[in-house]
Amino acid sequence: MAVRIRMKQMGRTHRHYYRIVAIDHRQPRDGRAIEELGTYDPHVPNQDNSVTLRPARIKYWKSVGAKASEHCEAIFTKYLAKWEEIEAGQAVKAAADAAKSAAGTEPAPQ
């Protein structure tokens, strides 16, 4: 199966937004996707808030041979580093919370 990373059009007339998806290249533009990798909303006034990405999954799909469309590749070039930092920060916070809760559930030494 040849997988592509491309945009799937959503929304309504004159107010489109897009899901960035991994999809079989034979599917139509709005066809059934394998996995959702992010979103892009061109109507958001602040350009930094117009994109959400899942960098780990994007890298996975690229590593197994998925090719990104030109528009998706441009979005990745511009925003992927920002979302990698956000994802790393969330992982650190989750690890700290897990350690804190694990320390709280252990019985006190007697």
pLDDT of residue 4: 94
100 versus 66: the higher-pLDDT residue is 66
CA 3 to chain centre: 16
Query: Across residues 6-23, what is the average pLDDT?
Result: 93
**11 falls within a domain:** yes
Q: What is the CATH number of the domain that holds 55?
A: 3.30.1320.10
Number of domains the chain contains: 1
Full residue range of the structural domain in which residue 84 is found = 3-104
Q: Which residues of 35-58 are buried (b: 16+ CB within 10 A; e: fewer)?
A: eebbbbeeeeeeeeebbebbbeeb
Looking at every residue in the chain, the average pLDDT score rounds to 89
**Is residue 110, in this structure, part of any structural domain at all?**
no
pTM here? 0.80
Query: Largest alpha-carbon pair distance within the chain?
Result: 68
The pair of structure tokens assigned to 105 is 């559930």
Give me the mean pLDDT over the 1-23 stretch: 92
Note whether residue 97 is domain-resident.
yes
In a domain, 83, yes or no: yes
User: Is residue 1 very low, low, confident or very high in pLDDT (cuts 50, 70, 90)?
Assistant: low
Q: Is the pLDDT of residue 92 over 60?
A: yes
Q: How many residues does the chain have?
A: 110
109 domain residue, yes or no: no
Residue 16 belongs to some domain of the structure: yes
Burial class (CB in 10 A: 0-12, 13-18, 19+), 32: exposed
**DSSP 8-class letter at 68:** E
d(Cα 57, Cα 35) in Å, to the nearest integer? 9
Q: Is 61 inside any structural domain?
A: yes
